[in-house]
Amino acid sequence: MSLLEIKNLDAGYEDLNVLKDVNLKLEKGKMSVLMGPNGAGKSTLLKSIFNITTITSGDIFFNNKKITKLPAHKLMDLGIAFVPQGKVNFGILSVRDNLILGIHKTKDKTIIEKKLKEIYKQFPILKEKEKEYAFTLSGGQQQMLAIGRALMSSPKLLLMDEPSLGLAPKLVKEMFESIKNIRDNFDTTILVVEHNLKSMMNVADDGYILVQGEMIAHDSCKNLKNSEVMKKVFVGELE
């Protein structure tokens, strides 16, 4: 059954239209990767789910419920978490405070402590830096913090926008291992926008290809890996 469905979406920023008639269907429990050249509109697609772009037509459904243009803060209640690109954390809050904000609606301290424990188990370095300001963390640590915060709310759907961006290759490998663990341990459906295709293709179940605002392919990663369309779009990138 599809957890997230996007139908005929036209979206962009003010008068700039980026996405044209985009369709996407995300199966529950699967990890999917959204690929495409720079400027294709991948980030725009993720952001549109959160209504922080200008949506001109089309609809978005989550668990068969229409969520198009729903205010961003309501999506967390529905179980959607987002790890954005760029400024991923609240720099002037501590690591611990950043994580707690992930389930700020919960008042029950025991639940909060339990979740923190889980996250610290997944990312031990965060426990170590618990009281530090988030901005003092390195890039890789920041990424982990961002993912950790997203997981605090036990989301049904986790959206990630280029988590490997700016990370050293060794860290990238660790990163994708973490993401795989999340899919296995946390029972979360995951959609990742990624550039680093080699690593992702081995890990993800499904793949989507977005080119110049149009969705041109969707298949299992196994099939896509050696397909013609992949070769055409990502000449040279699979090495």
Partner 1 sequence: MFFQLLINGLIAGSIYALIASGFSIIYTTNKFVHFAHGSTATVAAYFLYWIFSNFGLPLYLVFPLTILIAALFGFLVHLLIYLPLKKRKSSSVILLIASLALMAFFDNLMQLLFGADVKILSIFPHGKGIEILGAYITPIQIVILIVVLLLFFGLWAFSKYSKLGKIMRAVSDNPELAKTTGINSIRVQHWSFVIGSAIAGLAGILIALEHNIEPAMGTHLMIQGFTAAVIGGVTSIPGSIVGAYVLGLTENFGIWFLPSGYKSAIAFVLLLIFLIIRPQGIFGINQGNRDQKM
Residues of this chain that interact with partner 1 (CB under 8 A) are 14, 50, 52, 71-77, 82, 84, 86-93, 97, 100-102, 104-105, 133, 135-136, 138-139, 142-143, 149, 153, 166
Please tell me the distance from the alpha carbon of residue 68 to that of residue 33, in angstroms, as a whole number: 22
Closer CB to partner 1, residue 80 or residue 209?
80
Cβ contacts of 109 within 8 Å, gap of 6 or more: none
Q: Provide the minimum distance between the beta carbon of 170 and partner 1 in the complex, in angstroms, as a whole number.
A: 15
Please tell me the distance from the alpha carbon of residue 113 to that of residue 92, in angstroms, as a whole number: 22
Strand segments, DSSP code E, in 14-53 are 16-27, 31-35
Closer CB to partner 1, residue 8 or residue 91?
91
Q: Provide the minimum distance between the beta carbon of 183 and partner 1 in the complex, in angstroms, as a whole number.
A: 21
Closer CB to partner 1, residue 42 or residue 221?
42
Residue count of the chain, please give it.
Answer: 239
Backbone angles phi, psi at 154, to 5 degrees: 45, 60
97: exposed, middle or buried (Cβ count in 10 Å: 0-12, 13-18, 19+): middle
Q: Provide the minimum distance between the beta carbon of 90 and partner 1 in the complex, in angstroms, as a whole number.
A: 5
Closer CB to partner 1, residue 1 or residue 16?
16
Q: Provide the minimum distance between the beta carbon of 125 and partner 1 in the complex, in angstroms, as a whole number.
A: 14
